[in-house]
Amino acid sequence: MDQEVGFRLRLVRLRYRLSQRALAKRAGVAHATISLIESGRSSPSVSALKRILAAIPMTLSEFFSDELPPAESGVFFRADELTEISGGNGISYRQIGSARAGHVLQILVERYAAGADTGMIMLRHEGEEGGVVLSGQLEVTVGESSRVLGPGDAYYFNSRQPHRFRTVGSEPCTLVSSCSPPSF
């Protein structure tokens, strides 16, 4: 997956006619960081990749989605029809439906491997988000508050507050989340 992220980042960067140095400067990261990611020798955390893509600007969903036909969006989705919009660092985000412009809600099936973490740099974006843990345990940190959630437990908060997610224990964690407007 590291090679795919690197390949996609290089394609996007070139599409926007940015050098590695220009993208690094815009994103506030070292030039070497972009180079290592593009060569597949480094796997960025979700928060680091979001920060890099925000400098383009582009969402994670746009980054990981293939070109979608303009046909009408479906209503029902089989498990194998969900779109993987990220990877690496033990975290999987599978999106229900497409990320086309005009959608006001994004629904994800998230899976965190044991020990997975969204990163030391807390996430922050416009909107609201919430989720329900289906299995495993997830530590959710919002601002200065932190709580470990288990199956059936839920969270809901204003996404402008800094936030972070990480699994607790030796079991993977699965949850269904939603955010409005879409932020990936």
Per-domain boundaries in the chain:
2-64, 79-180
Q: How far apart are CA 106 and CA 57, in angstroms?
A: 18
Q: Comparing C-alpha atoms, which of 57, 17, 53, 16 is closest to residue 34?
A: 53
CB 48 within 8 A of CB 73: no
Q: Is the dihedral of CA 101, 104, 107, 110 positive or negative?
A: positive
CATH number for domain 79-180, candidates 1.20.1290.10, 2.60.40.1930, 2.60.120.10, 3.40.47.10: 2.60.120.10
CB 178 within 8 A of CB 156: no
Domains 2-64 and 79-180 share a fold: no
pLDDT for 115 equals 93
Q: Which of 17-31, 94-108, 142-156 has the highest mean pLDDT?
A: 142-156
- In the chain, the percentage of residues whose pLDDT exceeds 70 is 89
Residues 7-57: pLDDT tens digits? 888 888 877 778 888 899 999 999 899 989 988 888 888 888 988 998 888
Q: Is the dihedral of CA 39, 45, 51, 57 positive or negative?
A: positive
The architecture in CATH of the region 2-64 reads: Orthogonal Bundle (1.10)
- The chain-wide mean pLDDT, for the chain, equals 85
Residue 86 clears pLDDT 70, i.e. is over it:
no
